Every structure is written in structure tokens, then in C-alpha cells.
A and B are shown apart, each in its own frame.
Chain A
Amino acid sequence: MKTYLPPKFIVERDPERCIQCQVCVNQCSFENHYYDAEDDVVRSHEGKCVGCHRCVMFCPTGALTVRRNPLDYRENYNWRSEVIEDIIKQAETGGVLLTGMGNDKGYRIYWDHLVLNASQVTNPSIDPLREPMELTTYLGRKPDKVEIDPNTMSLKTRVAPQVKIDVPIMFAAMSYGAVSINVHESLARAAAEAGTLWNTGEGGLHPKLYKYGANTIVQVASGRFGVHQEYLDTAAVVEIKIGQGAKPGIGGHLPGEKVSAEVSMTRMIPKGTDALSPFPHHDIYSIEDLAQLVHALKEATNYTKPISVKIAAVHNSAAIASGMVRAGADIIVLDGLRGSTGAAPKVTRDNVGIPIELALASVDSRLRQEGIRNWASLVISGGIRCSGDVAKAIALGADAVYIGTAALVALGCCLCQQCHTGKCAWGICTTDLALTKRINPDIGARRLANLLRGWSLELKDILGGMGVNALESLRGNRLHLRGVGLTDTELEILGVRMAGS
């Protein structure tokens, strides 16, 4: 069938600069560039470019420019080019539209409507360059009260297992199979260096990464891939994945092509078979059932590590979160509307779930109202872009955040949203061995650790500016936030006052 899809991008090659070196041909995994041996010249196809800019970045002479195809349809705000092209794709394939990364639609980003406070005159700000500033966070269930033995001055209360992180920023779940082994290694090493945690996602853990266990969160999802005793024992935290912000309510299909020999080993399934994650966990149809799996994992790890439960932020998150905490979760994770994915139906990614800022505020408020906020740590993810977002999240009530997209951008991701094709030219979201080599774990870990260092320094500046010297003083302290350009209802849900009031 002839495709009616117009090229999305146009590649311009400056003939003055191009030296026919074919770097672009080798770098482009989407086969947009090719070498014409007859004419001894490098050319580009139209229509295959996904706009990942790999070739632009690696062209030694700067001969390439990638621009959006102007697509001069008649102006129509309703029938935008994306809408038209989606219809064309489906008319030609009859399938569910797949996509990668997070929701790219124009839903309100509440972080951009929240502003932070600072000290002026009435209390002094603190200069973090010269005074200690505390970002340390302990994840896990906190007791309602602590008892001290007056004779020995030691703690009498049996405290649930806690995991210490030096920065309140962790790497979000990205499974091996979705991302490459070198991405996993980069994340693991950066987490170890920065004193934080990374998350395996639901695809198991490669044996060579077991040594980073103290910095690893392992996931148990509906597919139960690669879940076995050693996997659970190695981890610092075990996370039950119920849902994901990019595709609330639905499971996942890792296509057989991505199940390479190594992926087969960590997922413990035969090579080349589809890895299907069912929509629900079939042993969890209720909060009571969730409690059952939480406690099964506590038994399986002999009560030595916190059990986390991750859900996508949906309409009833607050009530569900209360159930999760009461079910025994030591950490609860909310993944918002803008959370990313290696592959999800576009219709789900773009239309299902609620913004994380609102979910966070309502869950934190609800748990406080019920007097159980201390029973679990609250972690959020889905669209954290900078340390400012982190600070606002902490002030809204989060204990820590996960970053996924930001971490991948640090590794080179340009958000071309082709993760589901497995052809990632940056070597991130692929299991192709040749492409995988494009991420060097030495450099990857350095870039990620640098990012965390930068954000940590910024967080300390923000705290210092507020006149507080510990993240704990900002946590859930919504008086440090004010809203700009929000309705009364939005302010009410966020529990934040209007700027100026």
C-alpha cells in the first residue's frame, strides 16, 4: 500500500561541508542516510528521519541540519497534522498506535504555576557553600512514636527497615529489554556514586549488576519476569509495580525481537518469545490481595527490606493510596500523567491518568487526614525536569522523586519517541548489540552522576535561600509554595495559597 504519510523531518546536507565520510550513514539506525556508490556520494531518503539528531551531533563537519517538514496543510486547529497522520497510520495498518516516552500534550504543567519562597530580612537565609545542608532521606515506614529505654538510652521501638539515600532523587524503573544493558549499568553505577537508588524495572537484573544491589530497587510486576530468590535478596527495596503513568491500567508486550539471549537470561524466558505482562496482577484484584503480595514479599525477604508499591496516578489515587499504605506498603510510588514508557498505546499515554502534582497533593493530604502519612514514604515520578520541580514536589509532600526521562536525556536521549521501535540511534532504548555499544557505561555513569550532583547543589541553594538547612524542613511544607495563575479549585487541591496572599 502506498503510504500517505508525509516525511516528518527534512534533512539538509550542506554540499560544501559534506566530505562523504558516511558517519551519518553508520549512525542512523533508521536508515535515513545512504551511500550511493555509483555517484560516490552520501544522500538522504525523505521520510525515514525521526528527528533524533544523532547524525547532526556526530557529523564531523557540521554539514547536516534536521528540520521539521513544514507540512503546509490548510490551517485547522482541530485537524492538526498529528491527528491526520495518526489516522493515516491506522488506515494503513489497522493496529493500535504505539509510541514511546511520556505524554507530549499540552496539559497544564503545575510545576510551572508554583513558586517557591525565600527568606528576606525577617529570618536569615543560609549559605550552603559554608554551612552544612542536609538532603539525606530515609525511605520506609516510620513508627507512630519511638520509645527509648531510659536505662540504656537505646531505642526500644522496633523500627521497620529503612533505606538511606543521600539525595532525594532516584532513577525510575526502566527495564532491561526496554533499555540497553549499558543504560542499566550507567544507572547502577551513578546511583552507587551518588548514594541513591536505581530501579530495575520489571525485566529482571543482569548478573553483572548484582554487585550494585545495595543501590538497587527490584521490581515485581504482573509478568513476574526474572523474579527469584536471589533477585529479591540482592535488592535494597522490592517494588510491586501495579501501574505506570504512561499506561495506567494496562500491561506490556515486549516483542520477541527484543528478547535477545541476554534479555532472555534476566527475564528467565526463552529467547525470541514475546514477554507479555498481563494488565492486572492475577493475584491482586483488591487491596486485601495487594496486602497479600506485600506480605508474601516481606516473608520472602524475611522482613529485611522495605516493600514499595507503584501505581499510576488516577482519579481515585488518594483512596487507593490509603489502601496501599494500610496494605503494608513501606513506600508508595505515584507515577503521573507525564510518566514515560518504552512502548505504550498512544491513546493511553496521551489520555489516561492525572497530573502528578495534583495526585501528590491529594494523596499527601489524604494520608495526613487519616493520620497514616508516616506509615509509608511517598515517592513520585512522571515529568520531573529539574531541581526546581524536585523542590516543589518535596514541598507538596513527596519524600523523594524518581527521574526517568531526565536521566535518559542526560545519556543523550532527544525525545524522538521511537523507543518502541527498538532502533534507538543513541543506544538507549534498544537491545541491538551494535547500538547498545553507543552508551559507554563509564561516560554514562559520569553524565548521570554529574546531573545528580548539579541538582543536589541547586536543591541546597534553594533550601539555603529559604533559611532551612535540611530537606526535612521543606518536606510537606506547602507554606513554602504559592500558586500563580491557578483557579481556586486547583489551589484547594494543591493545598497552596495564591501568590501575594
Chain B
Amino acid sequence: MTEKVHSEKTSSVVKIDAYGLSHRELNEKLREVVSNGTQKIELRNVYGQRYIGTDLNKAVEIEIFGVPGNDLGAFMDGPRIIVRGNAQDGCGNTMNNGEIIIHGHAGDIIGLSARGGKIFVREDVGYRAGIHMKEYQDKKPALVIGGTAQDFFGEYMAGGVVVLLGLNLKEGEPHKARFIGTGMHGGVIYMRGSVDNYQLGKEVGVAELGEKDYQTLKELVGEFASYFGYNAEEILKQKFSKLYPRWLRPYGRHYAY
């Protein structure tokens, strides 16, 4: 069921009722709609359909009402996805470009191997968030999480920026993730609130933020705040720590030649 309505700006919005559609049918519909040059799509009644936005490489905006399934925006290259609800696992998997904004929680391995684009999550994320994110030339993925994360946060990171805000932690309550940044060999993690050394992977170093770090943080937190109605300055007031890879080649001495 596809109906075209006209929003105030007279740009056309295509509404799709995803009820009862398989992921294949839904994506087929999306491809068809996007190929017609549609700029904005509203997906209603999304009940766990996977791979939404995969194989779309245009700057289309997709607003999802409901719970999209795993691999939301996997291999995605350009679209902007807004989720009015929670997202599941594998969000932004191997994403090349685009944006995913989640007004809720997200599951495990969010941003897995992403090479570009931005992901904003209002609440918490699951295990191994930001794992093996990379960067290349002008591509530098960013993942901003409003709540907290589970273990192996930022594992194997090879590039990009991950921000963990911990906004839903009570005063003095620490982040609970352990093995943060294990195997990290690139990129940077900014964490708001306290984190103990025992929670960090052995490849991770902790540093104070510099001028450049604050600049990056200001931009990303500003964007985060604008999406979810926070005051960026309030968020930035609290202390952040910077986690960085101690070695670019963590396993350089692992082998006998």
C-alpha cells in the first residue's frame, strides 16, 4: 500500500504501510519508490523487517514508525533513516555513508565495520557497539550514544569516532561495560562520566581532551542534542575522557618470522 501525500513544503512524502510485508517485499517497494526520485518516505507498522535501507544509494529520508529488524541500513550508502522506536542488532553494518537516528535503544554490534556515515542513538546500545569501525580518506564514521553500552564497546576499532554520553546514568553511577576498546588500533572514543581502568581493554590509553577533541565533540553532541531535544552545553559541561589506541599495530610483536 503506497500512497502519496503532500507535506507543507510541497515536497512529496511517500507513505508505505509495512504491515505483513516480508523484508524482501518491503525493500523491493523501497527500491521502486526511491528510483522514482522520492525524497522522503514514511514507513508505518514496521514489525522487525530486516535490511531496511540496504542497497539504497540515494539521499532519501526514511522515517520508520515501529521496530525495524536486524541489519538496518546494512551496506547503506547515502540515505538518512530516522527510527521512531527501538532498533535491533547490526544497525549500520558495513555502512558506507548516510545517517541513522534512533529515538530509542539499539541492539548489539551497532556500526559494525562502518566506514562512513553517522549513527545517533538516544538511549542504550548492546554488546560490541562500534566494533571494527574504520576510516578512509574523507570517510570517518561517527557513532553517538545517549545512554550506556555493554561489554566490548568499541572493540577492534580501526577508525572513526564513538561517543558514549551516559545521560541515563544516575549521578556517580559508572558505565558498566568491560573490555572497552579491546584490540583497538585506530579511531577515538569519548566517554562522558567515570570509567575505571579495569573496564578498559589493554590496547587502550586514556587521555585528557584537547582543543581538537572538543571541537569534534561539540559538533557531534550538538547534532545529537538537536535530534533528541537536549541541551548540548549542559551535556558538554561534565567531564569527558578520551580513549585512544596505544599502538597502531597492537599485534606487531605477536609473531616469529
Q: What residues of chain A have their CB less than 8 Å away from a CB belonging to chain B?
A: 89-90, 92-98, 220, 223-224, 227-229, 232, 253, 255-256, 264, 268-270, 272-274, 276, 278, 282-283, 292-293, 295-297, 299-303, 345, 420-421
Indicate the member of A224, A253, A296, A301 with the most B CB atoms within 10 Å.
A296
The yes or no answer to B80 lying at the interface (CB within 8 A) is no
- With a cutoff of 8 Å between Cβ atoms, the chain B residues found around residue A256 in the complex are 248-249, 252
- With a cutoff of 8 Å between Cβ atoms, the chain B residues found around residue A300 in the complex are 51, 54-55, 74-75
Binds A, one of B10-18, B89-97, B236-244: B89-97
Flag if A282 contacts B132 (CB, 8 Å): yes
The yes or no answer to B118 lying at the interface (CB within 8 A) is no
The yes or no answer to B27 lying at the interface (CB within 8 A) is yes
The yes or no answer to B115 lying at the interface (CB within 8 A) is yes
Flag if B57 contacts A229 (CB, 8 Å): yes
Binary contact readout B200-242 vs A (1 if CB under 8 angstroms, 0 otherwise): 0000000000000000000000000000000000000000000
Q: How many whole Å from A348's CB to the nearest CB in chain B?
A: 12
Flag if B158 contacts A296 (CB, 8 Å): no
Indicate the member of A227, A255, A295 with the most B CB atoms within 10 Å.
A295
CA of A224 to CA of B134 in the docked complex: distance in angstroms? 10
- With a cutoff of 8 Å between Cβ atoms, the chain A residues found around residue B84 in the complex are none
CA of A253 to CA of B253 in the docked complex: distance in angstroms? 12
Q: What 3 pairs across the A-B complex have the smallest Cβ distances?
A: A95-B256, A224-B113, A93-B256
Q: How many whole Å from B94's CB to the nearest CB in chain A?
A: 5
- With a cutoff of 8 Å between Cβ atoms, the chain B residues found around residue A301 in the complex are 55
Flag if B109 contacts A295 (CB, 8 Å): no
Q: What's the dominant secondary structure at chain B's contact region? A: loop
Indicate the member of B50, B94, B183, B186 with the most A CB atoms within 10 Å.
B94
Q: A269-B158, A292-B50 are in contact. Are A253 and B256 (CB under 8 A)?
A: no
The yes or no answer to B99 lying at the interface (CB within 8 A) is no
Set B77, B128, B254: member contacting A96, Cβ < 8 A: B254
Q: What residues of chain B have their CB less than 8 Å away from a CB belonging to chain A?
A: 23-24, 27, 31, 50-51, 54-55, 57, 70-71, 74-75, 77, 89-90, 93-94, 96, 109, 112-113, 115, 128, 131-132, 134-136, 139, 155-156, 158-159, 183, 185-186, 248-257
Q: How many whole Å from A11's CB to the nearest CB in chain B?
A: 21
Set A90, A292, A296, A302: member contacting B31, Cβ < 8 A: A302
- With a cutoff of 8 Å between Cβ atoms, the chain B residues found around residue A303 in the complex are 24
- With a cutoff of 8 Å between Cβ atoms, the chain A residues found around residue B252 in the complex are 255-256, 274
Flag if A420 contacts B257 (CB, 8 Å): yes
Set B77, B131, B132, B254: member contacting A95, Cβ < 8 A: B254
Flag if B251 contacts A274 (CB, 8 Å): yes
CA of A345 to CA of B255 in the docked complex: distance in angstroms? 8
Closest to B183 in A: A276
Set A229, A253, A282: member contacting B75, Cβ < 8 A: A229
Flag if B256 contacts A97 (CB, 8 Å): yes
Set A92, A224, A268, A299: member contacting B51, Cβ < 8 A: A299
- With a cutoff of 8 Å between Cβ atoms, the chain B residues found around residue A278 in the complex are 132, 156, 183
CA of A223 to CA of B183 in the docked complex: distance in angstroms? 13
Flag if A276 contacts B185 (CB, 8 Å): yes
Flag if B55 contacts A229 (CB, 8 Å): yes
- With a cutoff of 8 Å between Cβ atoms, the chain B residues found around residue A97 in the complex are 255-256
Flag if B257 contacts A296 (CB, 8 Å): no
Flag if A98 contacts B71 (CB, 8 Å): no
- With a cutoff of 8 Å between Cβ atoms, the chain A residues found around residue B115 in the complex are 228, 268
CA of A227 to CA of B96 in the docked complex: distance in angstroms? 9
Beyond A270-B135, A421-B257, 10 extra complex contacts between A and B, CB < 8 Å:
A96-B254, A224-B112, A224-B113, A227-B75, A269-B134, A273-B185, A274-B252, A276-B132, A283-B90, A296-B54
Please list 28 pairs of residues, one from A and one from B, whose beta carbons are closer than 8 Å in the complex, sorted by A's number.
A92-B256, A96-B254, A96-B255, A96-B256, A98-B257, A220-B94, A223-B113, A224-B132, A227-B75, A227-B113, A228-B75, A253-B251, A268-B115, A268-B139, A269-B136, A272-B248, A273-B248, A278-B156, A282-B112, A282-B131, A296-B51, A296-B74, A296-B75, A299-B27, A299-B54, A299-B74, A300-B75, A301-B55
